[in-house]
Chains A and B, each alone.
Chain A
Amino acid sequence: KAGVTQTPRYLIKTRGQQVTLSCSPISGHRSVSWYQQTPGQGLQFLFEYFSETQRNKGNFPGRFSGRQFSNSRSEMNVSTLELGDSALYLCASSPSVGAQNEQYFGPGTRLTVT
């Protein structure tokens, strides 16, 4: 079974630009969660989608948004990029909402904002 895939793997943007990251979950998984990983802060929860609906949201500004499509693929968008948005963005899929020990993570997208 193919794992969680994320594209692109690396991205360099400048301040003020916007970016869209993509995540394809494991086949059959309907829940997709997004996390931001920065040194010292660990993994911080951004949001979770299930059946095209946002089920939960972390404490991030409105510049961070996401969506999920009918095939469970998910995209995350960050508008008006700031230097502090430089991080590894991880996507995780699971069969259902709340199945924490069944979360499978993708390799991440490394975003650098200059």
Chain B
Amino acid sequence: DQQVKQNSPSLSVQEGRISILNCDYTNSMFDYFLWYKKYPAEGPTFLISISSIKDKNEDGRFTVFLNKSAKHLSLHIVPSQPGDSAVYFCAASAQSSYDKVIFGPGTSLSVIP
């Protein structure tokens, strides 16, 4: 059973518009969440993270929102750029197993010029 779910395998957005990538988790022990971006033929790169003590974290065009009661987080990219086209992985970890990160299956984002 997947503990971290990304129910949209793919997403297409027009350049300049907002991209919203969603992630749901089932384990209430998770208290730290991360987003990674992956280009073809490259390893994932860390994008942004959020601790469960916050409900929002912003870094430039990227904002992550956390809704603990719904066990849901989302990544907003505003404005979307063609270079944002990549696979985005949501990941989570629990303080009790701090060094084990659980990844979601990924969402492939295409930003159309």
Interface residues of A (CB under 8 A from B): 4, 31, 33, 35, 40-45, 48, 55-56, 58, 90-92, 97-98, 100-108
Contact = CB atoms under 8 A, between A and B. Distances in A.
Contacts of A48: 99-100
B99 A98 contact: yes
B60 to A, nearest CB: 16
B97 interface: yes
Contact of B43 (A40, A55, A90): A90
A106 B43 contact: yes
Given A42-B89, A107-B42, A98 B105 contact: no
B43 A56 contact: no
B41 interface: yes
Contacts of B44: 43, 90, 105
Given A40-B105, A101-B49, A45 B100 contact: yes
Contacts, number: 64
Given A48-B99, A98-B99, 20 more contacts: A40-B105, A42-B4, A43-B106, A45-B100, A45-B101, A45-B102, A48-B100, A55-B99, A56-B99, A58-B100, A90-B44, A100-B32, A100-B91, A101-B46, A101-B49, A105-B36, A105-B43, A105-B45, A107-B41, A107-B43
Given A56-B97, A98-B98, A101-B49, A42 B103 contact: yes
Interface string B42-73: 11111001000000000000000000000000
Contacts of A55: 99
Nearest to A91: B43
Contacts of B41: 107
A90 B42 CA distance: 10
A43 B44 CA distance: 10
Contacts of A33: 101
23 contacts: A42-B6, A42-B89, A42-B103, A42-B105, A43-B89, A43-B103, A45-B101, A48-B99, A56-B97, A56-B100, A58-B100, A90-B44, A97-B98, A98-B99, A100-B49, A101-B46, A103-B101, A104-B43, A104-B45, A105-B36, A105-B43, A105-B45, A108-B43
